[in-house]
Structure 1
Amino acid sequence: MGTGTWWCVAAAVAAWAEVLAAAVLLRARGRGEGGGSARAVPGPEALALLRGGRRAAVTVALVALHQHGAVAAGRKHTIRANGGPGRTRDPVQLGVHRSLRNALALRALALRPEARRAVDGLRAELGRTGLLRPPGRHRAARLLLAAAPPTLGAGLLAAAATGDGPGLLPALALGAPVLLAALALLRLPPATRAARRLLAELRERHPLPEQRHEVTDGRLVRLYVALYGDPALALFLPRFSRDGGLLDRRASGGR
């Protein structure tokens, strides 16, 4: 076996080590995952975070604030504060409201420091209960997976420099499986299997109503928005959602 072939094999082994280490990090369970004990159902902002990420959690917080008269739709598909936050103690709602010193579009609002810190705190809490992959481990795993292609590339370059590499087809046979494995792991959602099972159970117990007047409880409205996103927004809060830019206009053809 020539020196170039050894470089390719060594690079493939190193890339596999990175992928396997990432897989271990992504499979690491929080304290609340697994087991058969009953689990308290998280609040609407947490459920939205599990379903759709940061923007979904901020959207549910805005729905709650709107129900209390604390925010309203602004100009050009923005959200503005409409007085104080009321008596809410929810950290995400408070962080979102503090971010609205000026009217902001939803995308910009979700990135404001106060809102980001509040959602990150909720994310860390869900990571400890096993519903989200722990954020630190998730980031570390993604860094390891991102390092796999350069590791392979360095081996191929070193093999090419020696002039006695294994050739294109053997190199592809060595590199393609690890790249496919890295891609598959990169596509894993932050929500764990336990979270996806919880969301499915809640959707089964709470199917989206056909008529708005069937639901009069504001908390239930937030639950539906957390579980279903845009369809629930369009059903229960059509004007606020449209004027405030909460609906995904890409999906509806708006941009």
Structure 2
Amino acid sequence: MPTVMWWCIGTAFAQLLIAGALLRAGRARPTKLAPSALALLRGGNRAAVTVALVALHQRGAVAAARRRTIRANGGPGATRDPLQRGVHASLHRAIGIGALVNRPRTRQAVDALRAELGLAGLLRSPGRWRAARMLLALVPVTPAAGLAVITLRGDATPLPYVLAAVTAPVAVLLWRVPPTTAEARRALAAERARHPLPAHRRAATGETGTAERIQLYVALYGDAALALFYPHFARDGGLLGGGRGNPDDGLPWKRVHAVPKLHLRAYRELGEGGDHGASCGGGGGD
């Protein structure tokens, strides 16, 4: 096998080894996770910002505005949560949640939360994760260049083809490694087991700590919990389904399966004069 092919194959395996090392997660340490942290592990930046908006809405600090946007409705209240304060500080005018997630103050607060989860061994470093994926994207290209050279030279040895074929499935497996660690996924599963989403909002309201419990439900179940507890705020503020709504029910077709039928039916009934959003005990009714 030509020397150039050995170099290409060796480089491809080196890329795989480095990518694997970058994707290794640190040792997880026990930590109590706030709802915003759980939401970030479950659904990324947007999910974490949604939980912060719910907490602010419960205190009357934010409200839905026109055209599925969110606006500030007073001060952030007595909160020391950096994400909530960052989100509220970003609401200089009514904006959609997609733009809100990318505001500098919001991104700064989310990045700080990501750093905390990284130190806890629950989230891979964004920089290391992106660097690993860049290396993995190069893995198929490197041996392909060598194969092109030996093909032009007329070398029919099967060994380089076999070695090149080995690198591709390994790269695919590493590419599928998520930013969250196995410990984070176990923590989410344990929280869902301890806190199943109730079938009716009355089952989670009227007791001490209701606001925090609802934030936890939104963190763990996303759209399903929003449609159950704050349907008007979620619909009018554009919080459901990634912001791309279907005119019939306000939910995108690809996400309808994520909302239990009972909650989806109650959400649809809002347009027919149904339940107009009783207070969920958090100080800012829907």
Q: For residues 5 and 224 of structure 2, what CA distance do their matches in structure 1 show?
A: 51
- Asked if the contact 2:25–2:181 (Cα under 8 Å) also holds between the matched residues in 1, the reply is no
Deviates more, 1:56-65 or 1:152-161: 152-161
Aligned to 1:16: 13
Q: What's the TM-score, normalizing by structure 1?
A: 0.88
Q: Superposition RMSD on alpha carbons, in Å?
A: 2.1
1:135 and 1:203 map into 2 onto residues whose CA distance is 26
Residue 150 of structure 1: how far off its partner (Å) = 2.9
| Count of residues paired in the alignment | 244
Question: Structure 1: any 5+ residue segments left out of the alignment?
Answer: 34-38
Q: Name the CA distance, whole Å, in 2 between partners of 1:170 and 1:108.
A: 52
Q: Does 1:204 align with 2:193?
A: yes
Hey, what's the Cα distance between the residues in 2 that align with 1:107 and 1:172? 46
Structure 1 residue 106 displacement after superposition: 1.2
- Percent identity among equivalent residues? 55
Q: Would the alpha carbon gap of residues 43 and 166 (structure 1) be closer, same or farther in structure 2, given more than 3 Å must change?
A: farther
Output the TM-score relative to the length of structure 2.
0.79
Aligned to 2:252: 252
Off by >4 Å, runs of 4+ in structure 1: 169-172
Q: CA deviation at 1:12?
A: 2.2
Q: Tell me which residue corresponds to 1:50.
A: 41
> Could you tell me whether the CA contact under 8 Å between 1:15 and 1:152 is conserved in 2?
yes
Pick from 151, 164, 170: which aligns with 2:154? 164
Residues 124 and 135 of structure 1 are in contact (CA less than 8 Å); yes or no, is this contact kept in structure 2?
A: no
CA contact (8 A) 1:9 1:174 kept: no
- Aligned-pair distance for 1:235? 0.6
Is the contact between residue 63 and residue 237 of structure 2 (CA under 8 Å) also seen in structure 1? Answer: yes
Match of 1:93 among 58, 80, 84: 84
Whole-angstrom CA distance in 1 between matches of 2:97 and 2:190: 29
Determine the C-alpha separation between the residues in 1 that align with 2:86 and 2:155: 57
Distance 2:232 2:254 in 1: 16
Deviations 1:127-148 (A, max 9, x none): 0010111233222222221222
SS across alignment from 2:140: helix
Give the match for residue 98 of structure 2.
107
2:224 corresponds in structure 1 to: 231
Q: What stretches of structure 2 of length at least 5 have no aligned partner?
A: 246-250, 256-286
Query: 1:36 — aligned with what?
Result: none
Higher relative contact order (CA 8 A, sep 6+): 1
What does residue 150 of structure 1 align with? Answer: 141
